[in-house]
Structure 1
Amino acid sequence: MTSQRPWICTLVWGILLLYCINGSFCSKEVLTNHWFVELHTGGKEQAIEVAKKSGFTYVGPVLESNTEFHFIHNAVPHSRTKRSITHTRKLKAHPLVKRAVQQTGFIRHKRGYKDQKGVPLSDIALSSPELIGLLQDELNVGIDSPLHLKQPNDPLFSKEWYLKNTGQSGGIPGLDLNVEAAWGKGYTGKNVTTAIMDDGIDYLHGDLRNNYNAKASYDFSSNDHFPYPRYTDTWFNSHGTRCAGEIAAARDNNICGVGVAYDSLVAGLRMLDQPFMTDLIEANAMGHMPNNIDIYSASWGPTDDGKTVDGPRNLTMRAIVRGVNEGRNGLGNIYVWASGDGGQEDDCNCDGYAASMWTISINSATNDGQTAGYDESCSSTLASTFSNGKSTFRDAGVATTDLYNNCTTTHSGTSAAAPEAAGVFALALEANRNLTWRDVQHLTVLTSKRNRLFDPYLKHFWQYNGAGLEFNHLFGFGVLDAGAMVDQANKWKPLPERFHCTAGTVSTPATFSTGETIRMTIETEACKGIETEINYLEHVQAFITVKSTYRGNIVMHLISPMNTTSMILSQRPNDDDHKNGFTRWPFMTTHNWSENPRGTWTLEVTNIPGKNNDVDTGKFSEWTLVLHGTRDPPYLHQDDDDDNSSKLYKIKRVHEKAMAK
């Protein structure tokens, strides 16, 4: 009977997930068998004793706290619609317990998963002398040249167009991550660890096992140190292994391809593979060993159905904020997030993870520079990498590792884009181990390139903000350039201190109907004359409370004093919510990077006609504008080698003129 339990659990989880997707189960609150427990005083030993006396199982501390802990109750179902009041009361009755909260369950989806198996290694004859000879013939330099000056001899390297685009699979030559420039300088990600927060990693894979950081890995689904993927017939749990290979697949071992940072390490944080996610599990994953992990890569998020508005709960937000403030021994962890696969009918500003200023939201492009059909757009996207090429070409997806020592050439979605970015950031961290989380964001803005990226639907064009930085609503500040990033990282100097300033609030209620636009303004001095004065922007947040009889028809634009317009919410035709709207939702834009925030900010809220041409009524309640940035110019002391074509050179000239005034 015991041996059948994993199979039974898998079946139950599948049924619950099916009901949730169809909306007949998750329309009600889902409660799990996980509890958050806070003690008045004590530590691990006291928590274990409390759990034992109350009939619970002790799991561990929350975010390394001495008073906050994670308990589970094995007699309570994984998912139910009623609170287990009796069990909560029993916990609260213990004199050491200050607070006990049964955890709510919610859904988190992998991004870009496709039900396709990889290509078995045996099918591509990795060990054949003919293949090895062919690969050697394609090398640009001789066998005695230094390793970092050669092309990798891995069998799938020629298919990794996102690393070196020569026009294969219908791509545009040169449209890639420019990793060879970074490799050529000797940067390969050494001593940098990226945690893959996902469904596990096949750490026995021949292309990963030597780059696997077992010490920094953990399984939050099974509560052990072995985050190996759970088997399914559809290979559903191949997602994390594929993402890991993009970052750290080994070089020149005749297995699969090569990772962006092929000498870096990956850690597996298995946390997606369970019936429902909880705030506790997310928080513990994002706060796991923050001084041993440099980068956290997440290729998942709330449901990309064009109607969900969701984001991190309280504990998870604590974990992320703790990570950027205290992680990496005070330099701050880098959180990389896939922007979402909801397509044109969704908006990643409705995803509180991707739209957070603490994360780096990455969108994707195809191998010929277009936006993929599944790409979401939003003003919080910082930059882009690549996901897949033209569907009419074989092997146009992302080539990477797959389960059970296999390879695949079909990985895709923004799931594939985020790990590529994590790999580029690993190269930058090797170039400069003192980079902070903010440094990485600034380097992303300054070194990303427009290259040949364009919107095939002709909706979003490249434009310049008030500080002279070129951006696009789809692609952020462009595609990551590994060569340029390591160059700039190598000579990067610390940034001025970052502040935040509440610019003002508009709380006069207003109603508007279909086709109508309401406009409101906030005049601000950006905290001029006090300690938190801001003259050079980084992130801008608009906390807005608004609702409509059809939420998806609300469109909002934020216009800065330097006349840069950010669409902070686009139309989402599938979002039929008419009750909740947005309640102090933090819409965020990066488009005002380095602008001076002083002056008049304008918010425009419009009810766009819907697909049924119904008349909708909207109600605006509140808007609070919060500015984040520096008082002192961030770039004047940076070394740009007088490259007058670089973003850094141009923006320094803009800042010099501003200071002269």
Structure 2
Amino acid sequence: MTYLISSLADTDRIFELTEKLYQSQIFEYVEPKFWLFVETASDHKKRPLVICTNDQYYPQQWLLNNTGQSGGIVDADIDAPEAWAITSGSPSVRIAILDNGTERNHPDLTANITGGSDATGGSGGCAYPATNGNPNWCAGDAHGTWVAGVAAAVGCTGVGVTGVAYGSKIVPVRVFQGTTLTNADWVASGINYARNNAEIINMSFTLAAPSSTVDTQISQAVTTGRGGKGVILVAASGNNAGSTPGYPSINQNVVSVGRTTNQDLRFMDSQYGPGLDLVAPGVDIWTTDLTGATGANTGDYAAVGGTSFASAAVSGAFALLLSVNPNLTISQARMLLESTTDKISLGTYSYASTPNQNNGAWNNEVGYGRVNVNNTLIAMRNSNITGPSIICTSGTFNLTFKPNVPKTWYSSNTSILTINSVTGVATRVGSGSGPVTITMRYSVLSTTYDITKEIWVGTPDVSTIKYDNGISAGGAIMFHPIPTIQYIWINRTS
């Protein structure tokens, strides 16, 4: 129900009264009735939703959209075009590519590259040492360019490939030379730079052994990055077929990513086991290559494979999440992505609650499952409690996010409102009236999550709201006789 209050009060006093009414929590909204000037937000043309599918090699990019090409299973993909209907990435979301360099002047990357650093100092035996994240043009140094293209190659140009988050930015950070040469200081320095210059850090490599120096910088990134919300670190599980993910992906603060085939199966060399979080496509992945004769293929593009590119796809998926909601903490973002995966190949893999894997049912070979970023964006968009804002007699509450997780409903004041802990049906107690917090609580192993909704029980009693000068804002409403009539819209639903 909506009310219109009129008053002979000056504008400043109307704003005060509006705020006082809203702070009472009785009304869903309270706002002055302004005269507004209209500026149309249309150029008078109707256009269909634009989803980038026109790039040259897009039909081969089954990781984005598996239509059965090359004998794959339809929809064994990350549902990228469906996700792009919500967002294709924001330029304010940056993915740091910690690697052996990224070709900054590649025509499918240059528009999305910003900043950069070379933690190795540009030393080495190459004729053209790297600077500011450039590759050093040695044979085999294309890796960082491949990874960057999967995560965020420029889209909708009609040529080349499309990155998962083609509207986001790439920050090249060189932390190793060639394909094998690095040290803990270089990697730690790269993470330190990236946590201050990016929202997501992609590490498509494994190191021979864990490092306390690197662990310290990882910890700093997840605790202090993004203003305390935490930089999201993603790493490849490795390609050695071992039953333990490689380092640094095994670090609990890093998202460990294995790779799948176009048949939704773990690729035989993808490292797995405790600590693996999820999987993504990583076989025959089309991406950007070093340009000219230095590239692995002619035409500046190549098809590559490995957990490196599964990791890059997941970094792109996180970029899409943060493009919709940049205020997500690292734990919230991980919960969203990891709990909305596709549980692939159920005839092959069984999923169950597992210690230290707190975001849903998990499997030893494919983790929580194959990432589905469209599922994630839809869940994030709908992750609120649905139900009435005011209950006069009864109402039903539900949660569209994580519907398959056992959940328990609570009322903050059972003397005026009870709620069935299983069904979410709430019932007013007698003539009780007042504010109540509805809580939906669910637990996954050792972690408990609460989602809340503030409501009002009973008919709001506006006579109890006092204006600053002691005049009641309800019942027999009386205001000081100021010449201009002002109006306030207030609303309740019962």
Whether the aligned pair in 2 keeps the contact of 1:292 and 1:328 (CA below 8 Å) is: no
Per the alignment, residue 342 of structure 1 pairs with: 240
What aligned pairs does 1:180-191 form with structure 2 within 5 A after superposition? 180-191=81-92
Deviation at 1:594, TM superposition (A): 4.3
The whole-number CA distance in structure 1 between the counterparts of 2:213 and 2:82 is 40
Change (3 A) 1:245 1:352: closer
Deviation at 1:259, TM superposition (A): 0.4
The whole-number CA distance in structure 2 between the counterparts of 1:462 and 1:423 is 25
Change (3 A) 1:144 1:206: farther
2:333 is paired with a residue whose SS is helix
**Could you tell me the TM-score, scaled by structure 1's length?**
0.48
The whole-number CA distance in structure 1 between the counterparts of 2:359 and 2:336 is 16
User: Number of residue pairs matched?
Assistant: 339
Instruction: Pick one of 156, 178, 201 that aligns with 1:296.
Output: 201
Whether the aligned pair in 2 keeps the contact of 1:194 and 1:295 (CA below 8 Å) is: yes
Per the alignment, residue 191 of structure 2 pairs with: 286
1:257 aligns with 2:161: yes
1:399 aligns with 2:286: yes
The whole-number CA distance in structure 1 between the counterparts of 2:305 and 2:261 is 10
Per the alignment, residue 154 of structure 1 pairs with: 55
Whether the aligned pair in 2 keeps the contact of 1:219 and 1:226 (CA below 8 Å) is: no
The whole-number CA distance in structure 1 between the counterparts of 2:346 and 2:146 is 25
Q: Match of 1:369, as an amino acid?
A: D
Instruction: Pick one of 327, 349, 357 that aligns with 2:252.
Output: 357
Q: Match of 1:285, as an amino acid?
A: G
The whole-number CA distance in structure 1 between the counterparts of 2:313 and 2:363 is 20
What aligned pairs does 1:129-208 form with structure 2 within 5 A after superposition? 145-146=47-48, 148-208=49-109
Deviation at 1:209, TM superposition (A): 0.4
Instruction: Pick one of 137, 161, 175 that aligns with 1:231.
Output: 137
1:325 aligns with 2:223: yes
Superposed CA offset, 1:509-538 (max 9, x none): xxxxxxxxxxxxxxxxxxxxxxxxxxx9xx
Instruction: Pick one of 475, 479, 500 that aligns with 2:370.
Output: 479
2:301 is paired with a residue whose SS is strand
Deviation at 1:284, TM superposition (A): 0.6
Per the alignment, residue 368 of structure 1 pairs with: 263
1:415 aligns with 2:308: yes
Change (3 A) 1:479 1:638: farther
Whether the aligned pair in 1 keeps the contact of 2:361 and 2:368 (CA below 8 Å) is: yes
Change (3 A) 1:470 1:254: same
Change (3 A) 1:172 1:296: same
The whole-number CA distance in structure 2 between the counterparts of 1:243 and 1:454 is 32
Whether the aligned pair in 2 keeps the contact of 1:384 and 1:476 (CA below 8 Å) is: yes
The whole-number CA distance in structure 1 between the counterparts of 2:82 and 2:338 is 19
Deviation at 1:491, TM superposition (A): 5.4
1:237 is paired with a residue whose SS is coil
2:170 is paired with a residue whose SS is strand
Deviation at 1:324, TM superposition (A): 0.4
The whole-number CA distance in structure 2 between the counterparts of 1:329 and 1:596 is 29
2:280 is paired with a residue whose SS is strand
Change (3 A) 1:454 1:160: farther
1:196 is paired with a residue whose SS is strand
1:438 aligns with 2:331: yes
What aligned pairs does 1:555-574 form with structure 2 within 5 A after superposition? none
Change (3 A) 1:262 1:225: same
Whether the aligned pair in 1 keeps the contact of 2:322 and 2:328 (CA below 8 Å) is: yes
Deviation at 1:409, TM superposition (A): 4.0
Change (3 A) 1:225 1:378: same
2:106 is paired with a residue whose SS is coil
2:166 is paired with a residue whose SS is coil
Deviation at 1:449, TM superposition (A): 1.3
Deviation at 1:437, TM superposition (A): 1.2
Deviation at 1:408, TM superposition (A): 3.4
Superposed CA offset, 1:382-435 (max 9, x none): 1111111xxxxxxxx000100016443421010110000000000000010001
Deviation at 1:453, TM superposition (A): 6.4
Deviation at 1:337, TM superposition (A): 0.6
The whole-number CA distance in structure 2 between the counterparts of 1:222 and 1:257 is 29
Larger radius of gyration: 2
Change (3 A) 1:491 1:595: closer
1:301 is paired with a residue whose SS is coil
Change (3 A) 1:256 1:279: same
Change (3 A) 1:270 1:261: same
Per the alignment, residue 425 of structure 1 pairs with: 318
Between the two structures, name the one with larger relative contact order (CA 8 Å, sep ≥ 6).
2
Per the alignment, residue 461 of structure 1 pairs with: 350
Change (3 A) 1:340 1:197: same
The whole-number CA distance in structure 2 between the counterparts of 1:280 and 1:246 is 27
What aligned pairs does 1:578-657 form with structure 2 within 5 A after superposition? 594-596=443-445, 629=447, 633-637=448-452
Change (3 A) 1:596 1:369: closer
Superposed CA offset, 1:125-165 (max 9, x none): xxxxxxxxxxxxxxxxxx9744x534421000000011011
The whole-number CA distance in structure 2 between the counterparts of 1:596 and 1:365 is 27
> 5+ unaligned residues in a row in structure 1: which ranges?
1-142, 304-309, 389-396, 494-535, 537-592, 598-628, 640-661
2:334 is paired with a residue whose SS is helix
The whole-number CA distance in structure 2 between the counterparts of 1:188 and 1:340 is 27
The whole-number CA distance in structure 2 between the counterparts of 1:205 and 1:272 is 20
1:386 aligns with 2:281: yes
> 5+ unaligned residues in a row in structure 2: which ranges?
1-44, 124-129, 293-298, 385-406, 408-441, 455-494
CA RMSD of aligned residues (A): 2.7
1:186 is paired with a residue whose SS is coil
1:236 is paired with a residue whose SS is coil
Change (3 A) 1:414 1:468: closer
The whole-number CA distance in structure 1 between the counterparts of 2:350 and 2:340 is 19
Change (3 A) 1:222 1:438: same
The whole-number CA distance in structure 2 between the counterparts of 1:218 and 1:638 is 48
Whether the aligned pair in 2 keeps the contact of 1:432 and 1:490 (CA below 8 Å) is: no
The whole-number CA distance in structure 1 between the counterparts of 2:303 and 2:290 is 13
Deviation at 1:490, TM superposition (A): 3.8
Deviation at 1:596, TM superposition (A): 4.3
1:162 is paired with a residue whose SS is coil
The whole-number CA distance in structure 2 between the counterparts of 1:385 and 1:421 is 7
1:449 aligns with 2:345: no
Whether the aligned pair in 1 keeps the contact of 2:148 and 2:312 (CA below 8 Å) is: yes
Change (3 A) 1:325 1:452: same
Whether the aligned pair in 1 keeps the contact of 2:120 and 2:177 (CA below 8 Å) is: no
**Shift >6 Å, 4+ stretches:** none
